[in-house]
Structure 1
Amino acid sequence: MILVPVLAALAGLLIGLRSRVLVVRYAVPEGGRTGAGPGPEPGAGPGPEPGAGPEPDRRSGPGAAARAVRPEPGRAVRPGPPPLAVEALTAAALGALALRAVAGGPLPDRSAAAAAVAWSAELLALCWLAAVCVLLAFVDAAVHRLPDRFTLAAYLGTAAPLAVAAAAGGRWDDLLGAGLGGLALAVFYLVLFLVNPAGMGLGDVKLAASLGTALGWFGWDVLVAGAFLGFLAGGLYGGALLLARRANRKSEIPFGPFMIIGAFAVLLAGPVP
């Protein structure tokens, strides 16, 4: 049984290698350069014209736009997280989910094909969501942005395996709860965005759909707990910054990582498959 978490962690390590490349590519303000390396890009001009200001960043994350800072011409710029951070966190997340799944009960009997498919599909949905969320968390922490292609991938890669799990295990009520949970959490964040666009972004709304789908699969109590812990984690972090005088009440913080922390704290502590 321990082989499943080990294989999941190894898969997470390999996925993390690719995720790191994507984090470096997308951890730039929207409309800015991606994959920046030493010197100007081939075919690029000598740099911004004198007196030209930074391009505005239409951020898809909590708060207003993050200001784009142009690198000095000819200076090497390689944005990215610390070495092995993405890989280690992805491996740890997938390994922990698989370990929780194994610890939650015996593996399905091989003769019960439908049960095995349902168990595997459920675990696959959560592992996929975790892998994409690690990527999103690093990008959001760097530039306060949650790219649409990854929030969409998170949602589709979570919903599709859960649909397979529902069909194989006859868990149609759980699938309905997942769909309604994703819708409810997304609408909740959308209301927050409409009330205070400077404090919440559409990227958070889209991420909430994926997290709400995974949490709703296990019930409304899990959904509420995951959402609450996300706000609690974000509030504690903001309070710590205020106490340390590293921020003020108008400072912006990326909220996506805290949404993810709250959701997976509940999933790992609760009824993962």
Structure 2
Amino acid sequence: MASPWWILALAVLGALAGGPQRAAVLRHSVGHDQPPRTHCPSCAAGLAVPPPTGRCPSCAAALGPPPFSTELISVLLLAALAVQAVSAGAAGGLGEGGGLGEGGGAAAPAGAPGGSLGELAAFSWLAVLAVPLAFVDLAVHRLPDRLTLPAWAGTLALLAVTAAVLHRPDDLLRAMLGGCAMAAFYLVLFLVHPAGIGLGDAKLGLSLGSALGWLGWGQVAAGLLLTHLLAGLYAAALIASRRARRDSEIPFGPFMIIATFAVLLTGLGG
């Protein structure tokens, strides 16, 4: 039977990831033509690791995400992924031996989220990078390559190892195609309406589509549909409250990320 200690371990990992995530948000929350930020914009103090309070230690100016937000979100997200893995492990996905899907019986069936330690590692890697990506997009409407490309490479590499250990080459192929399909979908939207979708969204689609594609094509479709539903509701609320117009730009990345992890955690579309 799977060990619930994975939940605590992933929660601790989420708390530890909060500092580097906060630093990444501060560093990349700049314009497209500006270099990464390394100092407080108010007093020019160096900021290698911004404090979790969201305030500059020198001048107390507000910096980056709200206090403790990256830490809290990461703890909840990684713990939720671990809970899903432990639940699947009770049916044989995560063995007590801690192997990459081995040592505790047969792996969970394809389409079941979190069915092995390899999947948990891949989805957790994606989560750790998705949190700062969402905050950067909210702040400056951009998804930097320094975060989107490692998210894709790491997720796909971990899924490739999982596929090799669990003998699931078809799932790996589907993951690769799912990432390409989602990226191509957003690339077409960018070419049709560049004011509403950016190239960063297409690059983010590589990693999100790979994670969803590992589970199945139904999950890829569910992720896309839920993304546009959430973004549409958000835009409608802004317009109704007169905080935006029909042609106003909204950050799309956070909705892609929320929809993807909603599907990963629930198996929606399977």
TM-score (norm. length: structure 2): 0.83
Q: 2:81 aligns with which of 85, 97, 107?
A: 97
C-alpha RMSD of matched pairs (Å): 2.2
Shift of 1:189: 0.6
One-letter amino acid of the counterpart of residue 105, structure 1: G
Structure number with bigger Rg:
1
Shift of 1:76: 8.0
2:30 maps to 28
Aligned to 2:95: 108
- C-alpha distance in structure 2 between counterparts of 1:182 and 1:224, whole Å: 12
Tell me whether 1:229 sits opposite 2:226 in the alignment. Answer: yes
Residues 8/175 of structure 1: CA separation in 2 closer, same or farther (3 Å cut): same
Task: Check whether the contact 1:155–1:209 (CA below 8 A) recurs between aligned residues.
Answer: yes
CA contact (8 A) 1:182 1:216 kept: yes
Task: Give 2:171's aligned amino acid.
Answer: D
State the Cα distance separating 1:105 from its structure 2 match. Answer: 3.1
Q: Which of these residues, 180, 186, 190, is aligned with residue 187 of structure 2? A: 190
Q: Secondary structure at the match of 2:102?
A: helix
- Which residue number corresponds to residue 63 of structure 1? none
Is contact 1:39-1:76 (8 Å) kept?
no
Are the counterparts in 2 of residues 27 and 79 from structure 1 also a CA contact under 8 Å? Answer: no
Alignment partners' CA distance in 1, 2:103 and 2:17: 24
Q: Which residue of 1 aligns with 2:199?
A: 202
Alpha-carbon offset, residue 40 of structure 1: 5.0
Offset at residue 177 of structure 1 (A)? 0.7
TM-score using structure 1 length: 0.82
Residues 203-212 or 110-119, more deviating: 110-119
Question: Following the alignment from structure 2 to structure 1, what is the Cα–Cα distance between the partners of residues 63 and 144?
Answer: 16
Cα deviation 1:183-210 (Å, max 9, x = unaligned): 1111111110111111110000000011
After superposition, what is the alpha-carbon deviation per residue over 1:10-33, rounded to whole angstroms, capped at 9, x for unaligned?
101101111111111111222336
Residue 82 (1) aligns with residue 85 (2): no
What residue in structure 1 maps to residue 110 of structure 2? none
Name structure 1 gaps, 5 residues minimum.
43-74
In structure 2, the residue corresponding to 1:252 is in which secondary structure? coil
Distance 2:229 2:175 in 1: 23
Could you say which structure has the greater relative contact order, defined with CA pairs below 8 angstroms and 6 or more residues apart? 1
Give the number of equivalent residue pairs: 239
CA distance in 2, matches of 1:190, 1:256: 14
Q: Which residue of 1 aligns with 2:136?
A: 139
Unaligned runs of 5+ in 2: 47-58, 108-115
State the match for 2:13 in structure 1. Answer: 11
1:164 pairs with one of 161, 172, 181: 161
- Confirm whether residue 39 of structure 1 aligns to residue 39 of structure 2: no
Distance 2:21 2:188 in 1: 31
Cα–Cα, structure 1 residues 250 and 113, in superposed 2: closer, same or farther, change >3 Å? closer
Q: 1:198 to 1:169 in 2, by over 3 A?
A: same
The Cα shift of 1:39 comes to 3.2
